[in-house]
Amino acid sequence: MEKMSRVTTALGGSVLTGRTMHCHLDAPANAISVCRDAAQVVVAGRSIFKIYAIEEEQFVEKLNLRVGRKPSLNLSCADVVWHQMDENLLATAATNGVVVTWNLGRPARNKQDQLFTEHKRTVNKVCFHPTEAHVLLSGSQDGFMKCFDLRRKDSVSTFSGQSESVRDVQFSIRDYFTFASTFENGNVQLWDIRRPDRCERMFTAHNGPVFCCDWHPEDRGWLATGGRDKMVKVWDMTTHRAKEMHCVQTIASVARVKWRPECRHHLATCSMMVDHNIYVWDVRRPFVPAAMFEEHRDVTTGIAWRHPHDPSFLLSGSKDSSLCQHLFRDASQPVERANPEGLCYGLFGDLAFAAKESLVAAESGRKPYTGDRRHPIFFKRKLDPAEPFAGLASSALSVFETEPGGGGMRWFVDTAERYALAGRPLAELCDHNAKVARELGRNQVAQTWTMLRIIYCSPGLVPTANLNHSVGKGGSCGLPLMNSFNLKDMAPGLGSETRLDRSKGDARSDTVLLDSSATLITNEDNEETEGSDVPADYLLGDVEGEEDELYLLDPEHAHPEEPECVLPQEAFPLRHEIVDTPPGPEHLQDKADSPHVSGSEADVASLAPVDSSFSLLSVSHALYDSRLPPDFFSVLVRDMLHFYAEQGDVQMAVSVLIILGERVRKDIDEQTQEHWYTSYIDLLQRFRLWNVSNEVVKLSTSRAVSCLNQASTTLHVNCSHCKRPMSSRGWVCDRWGSGVGRWGRGLQAAQEPLLRRPPSCPPPGATAAPACVPSATTWSRVCSCGARAAATAATCSTS
């Protein structure tokens, strides 16, 4: 193995071997450090201080340094470090502020060597000079750093950070006199060991405490820092001003950071809270860790590479009282699990997706998208062969466009805006929505609303005695009847709605193939669904016997002739459509000139003659008159909702769900509901129908959905005169003083995309503000083409 051979050379003959293993400690560890022979590790914690030998198959306890009967706070270690020059020399930092050195060469059982009690507060970190045998540095909560010469009893020099507590101190590996210190207030300082009066350089590296830092073992002047702000930053200190080279965003505050030996861009991190894993990052790929070790059950408190020239062995100690050796080859690689696929709709119906190149290439006829004149912003990323996961995670981008000027989703917007979802009695809502749908030419949807009204707004309840009877009688017929009705009527409605998709597909077929696996629905698909799902003849035949009787029961049948019914629940407009065959095909022909649609029309035609006097609607109407409980239809309604959702009209599904509320909710499982809601909300937000989407969120009963409303949307307002942010709560600029009206003309409202949210958080949703940007992903889109773009782009980048 190449790796092994390198290890051999580096170690001058002795090969490091071992496996992933762990051992149980008696108490939580706070820090670990490795001996320079790479065969021993020391573990220190509040009530543990032991040396373990690292053997082939296991850790073996070698020495317990915690001796003496009375537990002393001097032994309660916050940090431990093993001298890299002297195998016998150790130093610990105690929580009570004492710095202790240990000499393993002492013959006595107690190896404690020296005690420095100069710090007033907890010592957070100790560090030996990399080449000097007697120089020890400490950093304490009291804000001071002290340099000790182990040959003397007191500190040689004291460095005052002039800011808050010191969290970490590290000698530079390359520059003999330099050390770096990090502070609780976010500062990093660079010191010359010979000049205790003032620091050489100071800069603010993080927002909040900087918990750790590490010098790059090879690149002079590279310093990695990790902070509570969940970032790891790599600084180049060789330039005049410290320059941020890389920034890795993790998901929890960074407790330790250690460069990986022999891998120039790799570093390992562990976290202070919540996240127990150890990650190895390639700083050039800051989004996905290169490797991940998941052995620990509580936070990892100390990490150390076993040998300064071996990149494959990592040791770690944890609060879960265990010591682990991780082998790099056993690490899980998140990149393998990552989906290099992405799919996204554009605002105007464009569809872009990225997939593994191999996957795309394998399919015949599909070429990777290489950018075109209309979208010069898309470029294929030039691959750097030196970069990691080059082979693993490269993907190709494909873009499907709608026909320009198709403007196809107008109906969706109109419907969304005009539907009434709450605030009125059910019957009125249904009527209103039916009217809206009809006006938009969506007859089938309109009919569905009408049906719902009929089903759920029946006067009075069913006497229980009657219940069994009617169920028994209607159970077999009512349900499939509705089914068949729905599906049959689907044809004209869908024809108009899917026409766009078809033309889309046709228009683009020269450049990109649109196949049926894409989410876009083509008419062919519809055709299939209908064909397979509708055993209509059979069902219709089934009911025939009862039809007359039911028909007669219909009290409203007294006015059958009215052509444009005032009451939408009247069955006749619909009956006309079905019974009179001629208008149907014409209607369809108007809307979609596709040969496949005429296929469905043929279906209609063939169904119609089955019973010419037979009215589907009157049957269901009659069922209501026989006082069936609304519950009876819930299965039917559920199927109807599923049907709409399947067809891609999630709008209908959600609207009905909201309006019917408790009546149907229990019949549909939570997850499906949530899925519908989120899909619909996503769609609404893409069309920037913030108000509607907010209303839907508010009306939804699904917990996951309604909490969308509670997530943050930050609104930044800048003064139109001086461009300064208006920080105070009012709408007044500090400098200009004059009050500006709410949402005044001069205001440039900008929304922060909330990119700083950890990935585990729910996506931020719209709140009640008049204009909200719902999520980070949508944001870029709004940003690049929205009206507010100019003002916001600036805020985006700065905030």
Partner 1 sequence: MAEGENEVRWDGLCSRDSTTRETALENIRQTILRKSECLRSVKETPHHPSDGLSNTESSDGLNKLLAHLLMLSKRCPFKDVREKSEFILKSIQELGIRIPRPLGQGPSRFIPEKEILQVGSEDAQMHALFADSFAALGRLDNITLVMVFHPQYLESFLKTQHYLLQMDGPLPLHYRHYIGIMAAARHQCSYLVNLHVNDFLHVGGDPKWLNGLENAPQKLQNLGELNKVLAHRPWLITKEHIEGLLKAEEHSWSLAELVHAVVLLTHYHSLASFTFGCGISPEIHCDGGHTFRPPSVSNYCICDITNGNHSVDEMPVNSAENVSVSDSFFEVEALMEKMRQLQECRDEEEASQEEMASRFEIEKRESMFVFSSDDDEVTPARDVSRHFEDTSYGYKDFSRHGMHVPTFRVQDYCWEDHGYSLVNRLYPDVGQLIDEKFHIAYNLTYNTMAMHKDVDTSMLRRAIWNYIHCMFGIRYDDYDYGEINQLLDRSFKVYIKTVVCTPEKVTKRMYESFWRQFKHSEKVHVNLLLIEARMQAELLYALRAITRYMT
For partner 1, give the closer residue by CB, 42 or 94. 94
Binding partner 1 by CB under 8 A: which of 517, 613, 728, 797?
Answer: 728
Any contact of residue 731 with partner 1 (CB under 8 A)?
Answer: yes
Helix (H) or strand (E) run with residue 352 in it: strand 351-356
For partner 1, give the closer residue by CB, 237 or 733. 733
Site for partner 1 in 67-106 (CB under 8 A): 70, 72-74, 76, 78, 94-97
Residue 387's Cα: distance from chain center in Å? 25
Asked if residues 26 and 323 have their Cβ atoms less than 8 Å apart, the reply is no
Binding partner 1 by CB under 8 A: which of 194, 337, 373, 729?
Answer: 729
User: Which one of the spans 375-383, 549-557, 711-719, 771-779 is the region binding partner 1 (CB under 8 A)?
Assistant: 711-719
Nearest distance in Å: CB 273, partner 1: 4
Helices (H), 710-788: 776-785
Any contact of residue 712 with partner 1 (CB under 8 A)?
Answer: yes
Binding partner 1 by CB under 8 A: which of 15, 67, 85, 274?
Answer: 274
**3-state secondary structure labels for all residues of 356-388:** EHHHHHHCCCCCCCCCCCCCCCCCCCCCCCCCC
Site for partner 1 in 246-265 (CB under 8 A): 252-253, 255
Any contact of residue 531 with partner 1 (CB under 8 A)?
Answer: no
Any contact of residue 698 with partner 1 (CB under 8 A)?
Answer: no
Any contact of residue 294 with partner 1 (CB under 8 A)?
Answer: no
Binding partner 1 by CB under 8 A: which of 37, 298, 548, 580?
Answer: 298
Nearest distance in Å: CB 381, partner 1: 32
For partner 1, give the closer residue by CB, 34 or 272. 272
Binding partner 1 by CB under 8 A: which of 110, 511, 710, 777?
Answer: 710
Nearest distance in Å: CB 24, partner 1: 17
Any contact of residue 757 with partner 1 (CB under 8 A)?
Answer: yes
Which two tokens mark 88? 């016998």
Binding partner 1 by CB under 8 A: which of 407, 730, 746, 770?
Answer: 730
Site for partner 1 in 384-443 (CB under 8 A): none
Binding partner 1 by CB under 8 A: which of 732, 749, 771, 793?
Answer: 732
Q: Which of 409, 592, 593, 400 is nearest to 509 (CA)?
A: 400
Asked if residues 210 and 226 have their Cβ atoms less than 8 Å apart, the reply is yes
Rounded Cα–Cα distance for residues 136 and 126 (Å) = 7
Rounded Cα–Cα distance for residues 25 and 40 (Å) = 15
Contacts of 359 (CB under 8 A, 6+ apart): none
Nearest distance in Å: CB 183, partner 1: 12
For partner 1, give the closer residue by CB, 121 or 285. 121
Asked if residues 271 and 250 have their Cβ atoms less than 8 Å apart, the reply is yes
Any contact of residue 208 with partner 1 (CB under 8 A)?
Answer: yes
Strand segments (E) across 260-341: 266-271, 278-282, 291-293, 300-307, 310-318, 322-327
User: Which one of the spans 216-224, 480-488, 710-718, 771-779 is the region binding partner 1 (CB under 8 A)?
Assistant: 710-718
The SS3 call for residue 127 is strand
Any contact of residue 46 with partner 1 (CB under 8 A)?
Answer: yes
Any contact of residue 110 with partner 1 (CB under 8 A)?
Answer: no
Contact characters 2-41, partner 1, x per CB under 8 A: --------------------------x-------------
Nearest distance in Å: CB 739, partner 1: 4
Burial 58-92 (b: 16+ CB within 10 A, else e): ebeeebebbeeeeeeebbbbbbbbbbbebeebbbb
Q: Which of 218, 203, 214, 319 is nearest to 263 (CA)?
A: 218
Nearest distance in Å: CB 730, partner 1: 5
Count the site residues for partner 1 by CB under 8 A: 49
Any contact of residue 620 with partner 1 (CB under 8 A)?
Answer: no
Contact characters 112-151, partner 1, x per CB under 8 A: -----x-xxxx------------------x----------
Any contact of residue 582 with partner 1 (CB under 8 A)?
Answer: no
| Partner residues linked to 63 by β-bridges | 51
Any contact of residue 473 with partner 1 (CB under 8 A)?
Answer: no
In angstroms, the first-to-last Cα distance of the chain is 48
Binding partner 1 by CB under 8 A: which of 739, 755, 790, 798?
Answer: 739
For partner 1, give the closer residue by CB, 35 or 255. 255
Kindly give the interhelix angle for 670-686 and 650-660, rounded to the nearest 10 degrees: 120
Rounded Cα–Cα distance for residues 310 and 38 (Å) = 10
Any contact of residue 726 with partner 1 (CB under 8 A)?
Answer: no
The SS3 call for residue 464 is helix
Site for partner 1 in 329-348 (CB under 8 A): none
For partner 1, give the closer residue by CB, 257 or 335. 257
Q: Which of 54, 153, 52, 50 is nearest to 111 (CA)?
A: 50
Any contact of residue 295 with partner 1 (CB under 8 A)?
Answer: no
Rounded Cα–Cα distance for residues 384 and 284 (Å) = 11
Q: How many CB atoms neighbour CB 256 within 10 A?
A: 24
Alpha-carbon distance values, 637 to 38, 630, 667 (Å): 70, 10, 9
Describe the strand order of the beta sheet including 77-82 as a list of residue ranges.
77-82, 89-94, 99-103, 112-116
Rounded Cα–Cα distance for residues 603 and 611 (Å) = 14
User: Which one of the spans 145-153, 460-468, 641-649, 754-762 is the region binding partner 1 (CB under 8 A)?
Assistant: 754-762
Interacting residues with partner 1 (CB under 8 A): 28, 46, 70, 72-74, 76, 78, 94-97, 117, 119-122, 141, 184, 208-209, 211, 228, 252-253, 255, 272-274, 276, 297-299, 707, 710-713, 728-732, 739, 741, 757-758, 761, 767
